[in-house]
Chain A
Amino acid sequence: MSSIELDSVSKRFGSVEVISELSLTVHSGEFVAFLGPSGCGKSTLLRMIAGLETVDGGEIRIGGERVDNLPPGARGVAMVFQHYALYPHMTVFDNLAFGLKNIGTPTEEIGRRIEEAARILEISHLLKRKPGQLSGGQRQRVAIGRALVKDPKAYLFDEPLSNLDAALRVRTRVELARLHQQTRATTIFVTHDQVEAMTLASRIVVMNARKVEQVGTPMEIYGRPATEFVARFVGSPAMNFLTINLKDRGGFASAVLGDGSVIETDVPINILPSGELRVGLRAEAIRVREDGAIPGKVEVVERLGDRTHAHIRLADGSTLVAEDKGISQVQPGDSVRLAVEGATAHLFDADGLAYHARQ
């Protein structure tokens, strides 16, 4: 397996720069997810690595070898497309064999590799069928099989689960994780689904508006989001943001909310800029409790079974989402009190940059 290095790569469509001087290294054997909303440039970046888009500046290296001037087939990568892109007029076997035949692999070797891939993916009984005779999940497996037989230097997945129904998506996600544990193959996985990124990837590259917002492990991304965008995009429900006034508490920042209540954070006050600040709180850091310090009124209750999300309006009119236990007594219209775990609070400046407690 090989590493993938992006060295200040740029991409323009006409006069619009869609990727600008982006540098990133995917280590050998690593599973990296490109996460971001539609149009953030994540698929374009993947297609540049695959060779399906030209590179307007910078270098791409796979296994140390410069590839951005090579045709797609010569780069040694395999790609799984969003709509599978199986050849409709060929049987599953021929779909898997096509790439191997094109590079002159001996027939016995082709047979052996397809047999092996079909066994791993449990599609041995489908080899004689055509893609039109397969279900969505089976097509997905064949598409993965087509990548697997090539024994590539790296796997590129372009939103491969977005066409599956919810149950199948979860199952396929687990299978992909298992497959990666078996093969330890360098993998880049493009998705707009934060759950897929969090569960599959060893590192996540969060992209927004054609630039990288943050690169980190799933828990870094979740626990210490670099920007307001990352904080809002990752995690469900999205992080709560409240405008605050700052108060010094022995070197640490205390956030004073609009209604006068105080959240004692662990963010050192000396790293904070002057100007407007907001506090960022995840729903699980705000609990509905009788002895809570902050009063509020419940507007909407979402019962998820294992936990309950309560949408609450504070005295100053701001709203937030708090978490309660699964079997919750709260009803819309109730007056409740909220306890906030200040240690997990983040502060954000006017530009959306985040400030966290020391680790």
Chain B
Amino acid sequence: MTDVTLSPGKAVAAVKRPTGASIGPRWSNALFVAPYLVFYVVLLVYPLFKGIWMSMLQSDMFDNTSKYAGMANYHRLFNDKIFIGTVWNTVWFVVMTVPVFVAIGLLLALALNSSDRTAAVLRAIFFGTSVLSVTIVTIIWKMMYMPGNGAIASIFKLLGLEPVAFVTSSSLALVAIAICTIWWIIGLPMMLFLAALQQIPGELYEAAALDNASRWRSFWSITLPSIRRTMLVVVIYEIVAQFQLFGQAQLLTQGGPNNASRPIVLFIYEQGFRSWNLGYAAAASEILFLIMAVAALAQFFVSRKRVEE
């Protein structure tokens, strides 16, 4: 950038853009974006504000009446030990899973980033689990975790160890859900990292080899900086996705034992569609929305700063 200094006293005429007959907005062009805009407003903007509004209502689903309650729902939420528990459970779940998604996703991508047949088959296998529905996944993992004759218990017995009751232990239930979740959808981060790795020109590694760089040094100085943006995408995507933990917890532990594995979305579901406290559920949804937005934005700003450096 060059600095332009103007000597005082000299009038500088504002640069005028050339004006022509068709300068100015042509509102008919809005038709091009209208289809998208309609869906955006109807399916995103309206529900967002509707949700905020609902969270300030005391609704009664039986006679279909509701009255304005201000912040009462929020006030009640912050004093609800079960809700606070679900927030911590969810945060803990995110903290457990997101770094593992990044680490294992990247490791798998590095290991399978070759064009031979074995790598292609393994890529398909690791990605294959992502297409399973949550019902199938939890059935598989129920069989894995079964304390009597589950797969893990059998291995423990074979090694002469006492079988561990993962799903029914309040300290391990959430860990069990985390393991099941990582197994289920590790394919996506792996694929994203693979795509990023394949964008790195091979010549860079050849230059590094001639520069006496060790494998570790090449990874640190070439691979990692080249995939930083993808890493940011994976982290933000996984934060947003894992905060919405629901199906696995619902099917594997029903939030138990003693709420130890109850995530926020399960709480919202139960309040809204089991107890019909719609306003209360809506307030919990807004808080989840805020937590996710803050977490994702923080990650975005921290990483962007680092990318720019």
A-B contact pairs, 27 of them (CB 8 A): A51-B209, A51-B210, A72-B206, A73-B209, A73-B210, A73-B211, A73-B212, A81-B203, A81-B206, A85-B203, A85-B204, A86-B207, A87-B221, A89-B221, A89-B222, A89-B225, A98-B211, A98-B213, A98-B221, A99-B210, A99-B211, A99-B213, A102-B211, A102-B213, A102-B214, A102-B217, A146-B211
Which A residues lie within 8 Å of B213 (CB)? Answer: 73, 98-99, 102
Encoded as 1 (CB less than 8 Å from any A CB) or 0, chain B from 155 to 197 comes to: 0000000000000000000000000000000000000000000
Chain A stretch 13-62: residues in CB contact (< 8 A) with chain B:
50-52
Which B residues lie within 8 Å of A103 (CB)? Answer: 212
> What separation, in Å, do the CA atoms of A99 and B217 have in the docked complex?
11
Which A residues lie within 8 Å of B211 (CB)? Answer: 73, 98-99, 102, 146
Contact of B226 with A by CB under 8 A? yes
Which A residues lie within 8 Å of B209 (CB)? Answer: 51-52, 71-73
Q: Which residue of A lies closest to B205 (CB)?
A: A85
Q: Are B212 and A79 in contact (CB under 8 A)?
A: no
* Least CB distance, B235 to chain A, in whole angstroms: 19
Q: Are B212 and A52 in contact (CB under 8 A)?
A: no
Q: Which residue of B lies closest to A75 (CB)?
A: B210
* Least CB distance, B270 to chain A, in whole angstroms: 48
Which A residues lie within 8 Å of B226 (CB)? Answer: 88-89
Chain B stretch 51-67: residues in CB contact (< 8 A) with chain A:
none
Q: Which residue of B lies closest to A103 (CB)?
A: B212
Q: Which residue of B lies closest to A143 (CB)?
A: B207
Which A residues lie within 8 Å of B206 (CB)? Answer: 50, 52, 72, 79, 81, 85
* Least CB distance, A223 to chain B, in whole angstroms: 37
> What separation, in Å, do the CA atoms of A220 and B283 have in the docked complex?
88
Report, nearest first, the 5 A-B pairs whose CB atoms are least far apart: A99-B211, A73-B212, A89-B225, A85-B203, A85-B207
> What separation, in Å, do the CA atoms of A99 and B210 have in the docked complex?
8
Contact of B201 with A by CB under 8 A? yes
Contact of A312 with B by CB under 8 A? no
Which B residues lie within 8 Å of A146 (CB)? Answer: 207, 211
Which A residues lie within 8 Å of B201 (CB)? Answer: 83, 85
> What separation, in Å, do the CA atoms of A51 and B212 have in the docked complex?
12
Asked whether A102 and B210 contact (CB < 8 A) given A85-B203, A89-B226, the answer is no
Chain A stretch 69-99: residues in CB contact (< 8 A) with chain B:
71-74, 77-79, 81-83, 85-90, 98-99
* Least CB distance, B1 to chain A, in whole angstroms: 13
Encoded as 1 (CB less than 8 Å from any B CB) or 0, chain A from 94 to 111 comes to: 000011001100000000
> What separation, in Å, do the CA atoms of A90 and B204 have in the docked complex?
12
B contacts with A: majority SS: helix
Q: Which residue of A lies closest to B204 (CB)?
A: A85
Q: Are B207 and A81 in contact (CB under 8 A)?
A: yes
Most buried by A among B212, B213, B225: B212
Which B residues lie within 8 Å of A77 (CB)? Answer: 210
* Least CB distance, A130 to chain B, in whole angstroms: 11
B binding-site residues for A, Cβ under 8 Å: 201, 203-204, 206-214, 217, 221-222, 225-226
Most buried by A among B207, B208, B221, B226: B207
> What separation, in Å, do the CA atoms of A51 and B205 have in the docked complex?
13
> What separation, in Å, do the CA atoms of A89 and B209 have in the docked complex?
17
Which A residues lie within 8 Å of B221 (CB)? Answer: 87, 89-90, 98
> What separation, in Å, do the CA atoms of A78 and B203 have in the docked complex?
14
Which A residues lie within 8 Å of B203 (CB)? Answer: 81-83, 85
> What separation, in Å, do the CA atoms of A87 and B206 have in the docked complex?
11
Q: Which residue of A lies closest to B224 (CB)?
A: A89
> What separation, in Å, do the CA atoms of A144 and B204 have in the docked complex?
15
Q: Which residue of A lies closest to B203 (CB)?
A: A85
Which B residues lie within 8 Å of A72 (CB)? Answer: 206, 209-210
Q: Are B222 and A87 in contact (CB under 8 A)?
A: yes
> What separation, in Å, do the CA atoms of A76 and B204 have in the docked complex?
18
Q: Which residue of B lies closest to A150 (CB)?
A: B211
Q: Are A102 and B212 in contact (CB under 8 A)?
A: yes
> What separation, in Å, do the CA atoms of A103 and B207 have in the docked complex?
14
> What separation, in Å, do the CA atoms of A78 and B207 have in the docked complex?
9
Which B residues lie within 8 Å of A51 (CB)? Answer: 209-210
Which B residues lie within 8 Å of A90 (CB)? Answer: 221
> What separation, in Å, do the CA atoms of A81 and B201 have in the docked complex?
12
Q: Which residue of A lies closest to B217 (CB)?
A: A102
Which B residues lie within 8 Å of A85 (CB)? Answer: 201, 203-204, 206-207
Q: Are A79 and B217 in contact (CB under 8 A)?
A: no
* Least CB distance, B115 to chain A, in whole angstroms: 14
> What separation, in Å, do the CA atoms of A71 and B218 have in the docked complex?
15
* Least CB distance, B12 to chain A, in whole angstroms: 31
> What separation, in Å, do the CA atoms of A52 and B204 have in the docked complex?
12
* Least CB distance, A14 to chain B, in whole angstroms: 13
> What separation, in Å, do the CA atoms of A131 and B211 have in the docked complex?
17
Which B residues lie within 8 Å of A82 (CB)? Answer: 203
> What separation, in Å, do the CA atoms of A73 and B208 have in the docked complex?
8
* Least CB distance, A63 to chain B, in whole angstroms: 17
Q: Which residue of A lies closest to B206 (CB)?
A: A52
Which A residues lie within 8 Å of B210 (CB)? Answer: 50-52, 72-73, 77-79, 99
> What separation, in Å, do the CA atoms of A87 and B208 have in the docked complex?
9
Most buried by A among B201, B209, B211, B222: B211
> What separation, in Å, do the CA atoms of A92 and B85 have in the docked complex?
52
* Least CB distance, B197 to chain A, in whole angstroms: 15
* Least CB distance, B299 to chain A, in whole angstroms: 20
* Least CB distance, B92 to chain A, in whole angstroms: 34
- 10 additional A-B pairs beyond A51-B209, A81-B203, A85-B203, beta carbons within 8 Å, are A52-B209, A73-B211, A73-B212, A73-B213, A77-B210, A79-B206, A82-B203, A86-B207, A87-B204, A98-B211
